[in-house]
Chain A
Amino acid sequence: MLEHYIAAFSAMLLPQNLLAMCLGGLWGIVAGALPGISTSMGVVLLMPFTYALGPITAFTMLVSAYCGGITGGSITSILFGIPGEPSAVCTVIEGHAMAKQGHAAHALWVFIIASAIGGIFSVFIMMAATPLIANFALRFGPPEYFALTLLGLSVVSGLSGKSVLKGAISCLFGLFLATVGTDGITGEERYTFETSILLGGINFVSAMIGLLAISEIFAEAGEPFQEAKGSAVYRGLKEELPTVSEYKENWWTLLKSCVIGTLSGALPGGGATIASFLAYGEAARSSKHPERFGKGAVDGLMATEASNNASTGGSLTILLSLGIPASNTTAMLIAAFMIHGLQPGPLLLTQRPDIIYGIFVAMLLTNIFLVALSVIGVKMFLQLNKLPYSAFSAAITIMCVIGAFGLSNTMDDVYIMFVFGLIGYFMRKAKFPIAPAILGLVLGDRVELSLRRSLLISGGDPMILVSSPISITILLLAVFSIVYPMVKKSQAFRES
C-alpha cells in the first residue's frame, strides 16, 4: 500500500497535475460561489476539458472542482447572504450575520479553516475505509450487486425535494432511458425507432449536460441573475486574522461535525446539505452559547463548514469502493470514469490502484490548497460578479455544446443534449426533481444487468435476490433509506 501512496504523491507533484488541481479547485470555487451554477453543473462543465487529459490528471481536476464547489458555495453566503449551494444555507445564517456586524474577514477565515479541517478529516477516513469496503465487495455476485444498485437508487428519496412521488417518476424515467439502444444480453434493439442515433443508447453525459446545465440556463433566462446588492463591507482577509484559541475552544464541535459530515456523505441520500443541517443542529444543541445562534455564532459556522466539506470524502468512499453514487455530483463523476474507459467499484482498486490512490492524494492536497485557493477565489469572485450575466450565460451554453460534441466528435450528442435540455426545463417548470432522473440513467444499466444475470444463474427463480445475508442486509438498508426520509418528511409536515 505504501508504494501506491509514494507513486501517487510523485505523480501528483508533476506540473500538469498540480496545474489541474489549481485550475479545478479555482473553477470549483467560482462555480460554487455563483448562484446560477451548482457544484454538479461545475463538474459537468469541466468534463470537456478532461477528454484529452490522462485519467489521473482528469480526475485530479474533477475531484478538485468537486471539493472547491462545496467550499465556494460559502463565499457568496458570507459576503452577500446568497447561498451559492443548498449546503451553504446555514452558512448564510451565521456567516452573513457575522459579515453584517463588520466581521466578514473573520467569518471567511473561520469558513476557510473549518472547510480544510473537514475536508482533510474525511480524506483520511476515505483512505482507510475504501480498501476495506472494496475488498469486502469483491465477494459480491449479481444478486448482491442488484441489492447494491437498489441501495444506490434509494438516494432518490433524499434527492426528491418536496415530492417523493415526483422523484420516483423522475427516477423511473431515467431508468427507462438507460434501456434505450441495443440490449446488452440479447442484442435486440429497444426503442430506437429505426434510427442510428439511438442504436448505441443514450449517451448519459450528453443527457446529463442537457438535463442539468442547459435546462438551468433556460430557467435562469427567465429569472435574472441575483446581483450582489447590499453586501457586507469587505476590506480584505488581512483585517481579521483568526486565533488558535477559537479553534481550541470549539475542537469538540469541529470533530463531531467532521464525523457527521463524513457519515452523511457516505449515506445514500445524505450529502453536503443534510450534513450541514445535522451538524448545525448538533452544534446549536450542545453549544455553551445557544443564544448566539442566528446572530453570528462562530461554532455554528464552523460546524456547518466542517461537515459539508467532510461529506465529499464520505461520498467518494462509497463511489470508489462500491461504484454507487451517494450524491448528485458523484453521479457526474461516474460519467467521467466511463469517459475514460473505467468502471468505478471494487475491481478498480485492484486493476487501477494508481487512479484510486491518485484520487486520495489529490483530495488531500486539494483540501490543503483550498486554503490558498479560497483566498484567491474571494478576490476572483468579487471581480467575476461584475461580468455581464448575459455573456456568462452564452459562454456556458457554448461550453455545454462543445462538451456534448467532444464525446464522440459528432453532432448527434449535441442534438441529444438539446432535447434533454428542453425536457429538463419542462421538468423544472413542473417542479420535477432532475437529480433522480440522472441517477436512474447512470445506474439503470447496472440494475438491469445484475437482475437479469441473477435470474439467469437461478434459472428464473427470484428468491436468489434474497438468498444471501449480504443482499438481505443491503436490501433492508435500501428500504430503510427510502422509508426513513419519507417518515421524517411526513412528521415535519404534520408538525408544521
Chain B
Amino acid sequence: MKKGEVVFSAVCVVFFGFMAVQTLELLGKGRPSEMGSGSWPMLLLSAGAMLSLGLLALNLIKFLKKRNAGEARIPAGAAGGAGEDGAAASVRKKVSLCIVALLLYILILPYAGFVLSTGLFALGCMWALEERRPWVLVGSPILITALVLVVFAKFISMPLPKGVGLFADFSRLFY
C-alpha cells in the first residue's frame, strides 16, 4: 500500500464532500413531487463520499500495518533503497516534464499558432522522454508537424489555430 493511494482516497472524500456542500444550494428547488436538479447529484455524491471514506479507512489500516511490518525489517531492505529512490525520481522527472511540456503547448497554441507550437512541443516532449539522438530530435518534429498539417489543415480543412500578429503571418505561409 503506497502513501499515494491513501492521499488519493482522502482527496476523493474531500472532493465528494465539497461538491455535496455545493449541492445543498440546489436542493429544495423545483415543484413539489418533482425530482429537483440537486437530488440526483446529492445521491451520487453521498454514495461517493461514503465509499471514499470506507476506502480511506481500509487504505489507512493497510498502510499502517505495512509500515509497522516494514519498520521491523528495515536493515534488510535498506541496501536497495537508494537505487529505487533514484529510479523513482527519474520517472517523476520525466512525467513532470511531459506534463509541463503539454501545458506550455496548449497555453501558447492560440498565440503562437499550430505550426510553431507543435514543432516546439514535439521537440520538448521527446527531450523530456530522454531522446538525445540529434536526427530524431530534428527530423521528427518537422515530419510530425508536416504530416499533421497535411492531414488536418489541408485534407480535413480543420481551422487549426493560426496565432496572433507575426505568428499568424507565419502560419498563413502553410495553411
Contacts and interface: CB of A to CB of B under 8 A. Distances in A.
B4 A221 contact: no
Contact of A394 (B7, B45, B109, B126): B126
A191 B126 contact: no
Contacts of B156: 48-49, 51-52
Nearest to A188: B37
B17 interface: no
Given A48-B152, A188-B26, A394 B121 contact: yes
A221 B35 contact: no
B33 interface: yes
A473 interface: no
Given A169-B52, A188-B37, A414 B19 contact: no
Interface string A169-190: 1001101100100010110101
Contacts of A175: 44
A169 B109 contact: no
A222 B34 contact: no
B168 to A, nearest CB: 16
Contact of A452 (B40, B52, B58, B159): B40
A451 B103 contact: no
Given A190-B41, A390-B136, A409-B158, A221 B95 contact: yes
Given A222-B94, A390-B131, A401 B105 contact: yes
A215 to B, nearest CB: 11
A80 interface: no
A398 B44 CA distance: 35
B171 interface: no
A399 interface: yes
A214 B131 CA distance: 19
A411 B114 CA distance: 12
A445 to B, nearest CB: 10
Interface string B70-103: 0000000000000000000001101100110011
A452 B8 contact: no
Contact of B102 (A185, A421, A426): A421
Contacts of B32: 460
Contacts of A235: none
A451 B35 contact: yes
Interface string B5-20: 1011100100010010
A179 B40 contact: yes
Contacts of A455: 33-35
A140 interface: no
B29 A390 contact: no
Q: Please classify the interface of chain A as helix (H, G, I), strand (E, B), loop, or mixed, using the class held by over half of its residues.
A: helix
B33 A459 contact: yes
Contacts of A426: 8
B164 interface: no
Contacts of B26: 188, 190
B106 interface: yes
Nearest to A458: B33
B124 to A, nearest CB: 9
A169 B48 contact: yes
A1 to B, nearest CB: 35
Contacts of B52: 169
A129 interface: no
Interface string B108-122: 011000000010011
Interface in A4-38: none
Interface residues of B, number: 66
B152 A388 contact: no
A338 B4 CA distance: 36
Interface in A390-428: 390-391, 393-395, 397-399, 401-402, 405-406, 409, 411, 414-415, 418, 421-422, 425-427
Given A166-B55, A190-B26, A391 B140 contact: yes
B54 A390 contact: no
Contact of B161 (A388, A411, A429): A411
Contact of B106 (A218, A418, A448): A418
A397 B136 CA distance: 17
A173 B48 contact: yes
B125 A390 contact: yes
Interface string A229-268: 0000000000000000000000000000000000000000
Contact of A402 (B44, B54, B152): B152
Interface in A173-227: 173, 175-176, 179, 183, 185-186, 188, 190-191, 214, 217-219, 221-223
Nearest to A452: B35
Contacts of A176: 16, 19, 41, 44-45, 48
B34 A397 contact: no
Interface in B19-40: 19, 22, 26, 29-30, 32-38, 40
- From B9, B129, B151, name the one whose CB has the most chain A CB atoms within 10 angstroms: B129
A191 B40 contact: no
Given A222-B95, A418-B106, 19 more contacts: A179-B44, A190-B37, A218-B95, A218-B99, A221-B95, A222-B91, A223-B91, A390-B126, A391-B144, A394-B122, A395-B140, A397-B121, A401-B102, A402-B152, A405-B158, A414-B106, A429-B8, A430-B5, A432-B8
Interface of B: 4-5, 7-9, 12, 16, 19, 22, 26, 29-30, 32-38, 40-41, 44-45, 47-48, 51-52, 54-55, 58, 91-92, 94-95, 98-99, 102-103, 105-106, 109-110, 118, 121-122, 125-126, 128-131, 133, 136, 140-141, 144, 147-148, 151-152, 156-161
7 contacts: A51-B158, A172-B51, A173-B48, A179-B44, A390-B130, A395-B148, A397-B125
Kindly list the 8 A-B residue pairs having the minimum CB-CB distance in the complex, ordered from nearest: A430-B8, A390-B131, A460-B33, A391-B140, A222-B91, A183-B37, A172-B48, A390-B129
